[in-house]
């Protein structure tokens, strides 16, 4: 048999980890490259940001996940350029050669070109982002508690921009801690004056879900006291004043931006590889356009199929299953066998708005309420990588359900080293 092929996977998200775990160790030597040393479970970032679970519960070190994969090497680095003609990549720690290259670097926050917003708003794309939001929110209430009747207005307005699943789930979680938890921690603050606002540019939240889910989520949030500003865009934010397309403005120190994503960019590939939305055009086995041995999987990949002529949705299930299919196809390519085209089977979508409140769309039915919330929790527990973390999150959720509290409200920031 020929020597093993070298596969470089850039990115340790849902797709990258799935591929690294599934590539045949007898056929492939794998190098996994990522800027950080752990896999992040993005669907639960908002629960870290709202002090419901700890960061370690949804962060999984690559070396632990892949400890039994003798054919996988891991390097912390950032991809700087691809040299397709040489089958080589350049990174921040040096150059690496490959037989097959797989790009799985996902997306970053899209600020639509507004530099002020990018500099002053919070994002939620990493575990670190979630910790920053948690620290900021808790520090905000410490500041309110210490205020002497002045400058409080900006502290008392929390604005989340973007009515997709992330925005809806986060605003619902904040509404619940405003009602059930923060008044116990800060009994002298009048939480009737604390305003939570969700800004969405289109007519409805959860645009990728059914009209039933959209209406239910709207009703839930309004009953929870969230102000909904639909068909409204943010035009600017300087860290103090949020300006809106309707001419109004909000005085706020806290803006969380969940209004869209854009693919991470890569140098070295021809312009025709990228679509209008900057995703990488791939064929039905995730091979990049006009390439023989470069592949892209997950959010960054744009694949047109009969069922999805405008590309697949950028969700975890697509990334995971594209990686599974690619692992099989790389083995088939090495063994000179016919490859299998990928097609996404939509199993449904869901979002939770808080305790006993969720919406679920399945191919054959849509429903809401307690059962939907239970389904949401069960599915997310199944997707968590380790048994230990599944148990920890389950215990946290069970405790929070019974007590309506979590006791995880720690402000973790750098203190003055000269102080005792």
Torsion of CA 286, 22, 389, 344, to 10 degrees: 30
Q: Which tokens is 136 given? A: 């900021």
Question: Which residues, at least 6 apart from 102, have a Cβ–Cβ distance to it below 8 Å?
Answer: 7, 8, 9, 10, 16, 19, 294, 295, 296, 297, 326
Query: Is residue 84 within 8 Å of 269, Cβ to Cβ?
Result: yes
Model pLDDT, residue 420: 40
Whether 5-109+262-334 shares its CATH topology with 115-259 is answered: yes
pLDDT of residue 419: 45
* Nearby residues of 150 by Cβ (< 8 Å), 6 or more positions away: none
* 229 beta partners: 199
Please state the pTM of the whole predicted model.
0.90
Bin 286: left if φ > 0, else alpha if -120 < ψ < 50, else beta. Answer: left
CB–CB of 286/302 below 8 Å? Answer: no
Fold of 5-109+262-334: FAD/NAD(P)-binding domain (3.50.50)
Task: Put the strands of the sheet holding 88-91 in their side by side order.
Answer: 79-83, 88-91, 94-97
Spans of all domains in the chain? 5-109+262-334, 115-259
Which CA distances in Å does 207 have to 127, 210, 287, 315, 361?
A: 26, 8, 30, 14, 12
Furthest-apart CA atoms within the chain: distance in Å: 77
Q: Which residue has the tokens 């490859």?
A: 339
Which CATH code fits 115-259?
A: 3.50.50.100
- Return the structure tokens found at 157: 């307005």
Which helix (H) or strand (E) element contains residue 375? helix 370-383
Tell the burial category of 367 from Cβ atoms under 10 Å away from its Cβ (0-12, 13-18, 19+).
middle
Per-residue pLDDT of the chain in tens (420 residues, 90 and over written 9)? 458 999 999 999 999 999 999 999 999 999 999 999 999 999 999 999 998 888 989 999 999 999 999 999 999 999 999 999 999 999 999 999 999 999 999 999 999 889 999 999 999 999 999 999 999 998 988 888 887 655 578 899 999 999 999 999 999 999 998 988 888 888 888 888 999 999 999 999 999 899 999 999 999 999 999 999 999 999 999 999 999 999 999 999 999 999 988 998 899 999 999 999 999 999 999 999 999 999 999 999 999 999 999 999 998 999 999 999 999 999 999 999 999 999 998 888 999 998 899 999 998 899 999 999 999 999 998 888 888 888 888 888 887 777 766 655 666 665 554 444
**Backbone angles phi and psi of 72, in degrees to 5:** -110, 125
Cα(373)–Cα(390) distance, integer angstroms: 17
CA-to-CA distance for 418 and 308, rounded, in angstroms? 59
How far, rounded to the nearest angstrom, does the alpha carbon of residue 206 sit from its chain's CA centroid? 15
Taking the alpha carbons of 301, 303, 308, 310 in that order, is the dihedral positive or negative?
positive
Contacts of 353 (CB under 8 A, 6+ apart): 168, 169, 172, 217, 220, 221, 224, 359
Give the residue from 264, 270, 318, 278 showing the smallest Cα distance to 294.
Answer: 270
Tokens of 14: 């849902």
């Amino acid at each position: 048999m020929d020597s093993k092929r070298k596969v470089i996977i850039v990115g340790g998200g849902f797709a990258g980890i799935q591929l690294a775990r599934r590539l045949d160790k007898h056929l492939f030597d794998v190098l996994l490259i990522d800027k950080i040393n752990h896999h992040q479970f993005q669907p639960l970032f908002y629960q870290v940001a709202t002090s419901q679970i700890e960061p370690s519960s949804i962060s999984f070190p690559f070396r632990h996940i892949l400890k039994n994969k003798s054919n996988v090497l891991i390097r912390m680095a950032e991809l700087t350029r691809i040299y397709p003609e040489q089958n080589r990549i350049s990174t921040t720690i040096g150059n690496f050669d490959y037989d097959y290259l797989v790009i799985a670097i996902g997306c970053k926050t899209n600020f639509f070109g507004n530099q002020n917003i990018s500099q002053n708003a919070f994002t939620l794309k990493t575990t670190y982002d979630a910790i920053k939001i948690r620290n900021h929110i808790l520090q905000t209430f410490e500041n309110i508690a210490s205020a002497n009747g002045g400058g409080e207005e900006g502290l008392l307005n929390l604005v989340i921009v973007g009515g997709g699943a992330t925005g809806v789930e986060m605003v619902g979680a904040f509404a619940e801690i405003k009602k059930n938890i923060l008044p116990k921690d800060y009994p002298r603050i009048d939480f009737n004056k604390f305003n939570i606002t969700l800004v969405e540019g289109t007519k409805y939240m959860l645009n990728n879900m059914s009209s039933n889910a959209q209406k239910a989520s709207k009703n839930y949030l309004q009953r929870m006291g969230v102000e909904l500003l639909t068909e409204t865009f943010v035009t600017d934010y300087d860290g103090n004043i949020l300006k809106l397309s309707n001419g109004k403005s909000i005085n706020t120190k806290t803006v969380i931006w969940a209004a869209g994503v854009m693919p991470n960019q890569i140098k070295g590939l021809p312009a025709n590889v990228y679509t209008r939305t900057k995703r990488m055009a791939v064929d039905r086995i995730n091979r990049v356009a006009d390439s023989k041995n470069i592949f892209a999987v997950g959010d960054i990949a744009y694949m047109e199929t009969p069922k999805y002529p405008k590309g697949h949705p950028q969700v975890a299930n697509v990334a995971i299953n594209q990686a599974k299919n690619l692992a099989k196809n790389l083995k088939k390519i090495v063994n000179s066998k016919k490859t299998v085209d990928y097609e996404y089977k939509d199993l449904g979508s869901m979002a939770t708005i808080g305790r006993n409140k969720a919406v679920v769309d399945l191919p054959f039915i849509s429903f809401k309420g307690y059962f939907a919330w239970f389904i949401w929790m069960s599915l997310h527990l199944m997707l968590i990588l380790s048994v230990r973390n599944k148990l920890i999150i389950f215990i946290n959720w069970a405790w929070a359900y019974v007590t309506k509290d979590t006791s995880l409200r720690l402000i973790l920031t750098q203190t003055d080293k000269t102080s005792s």
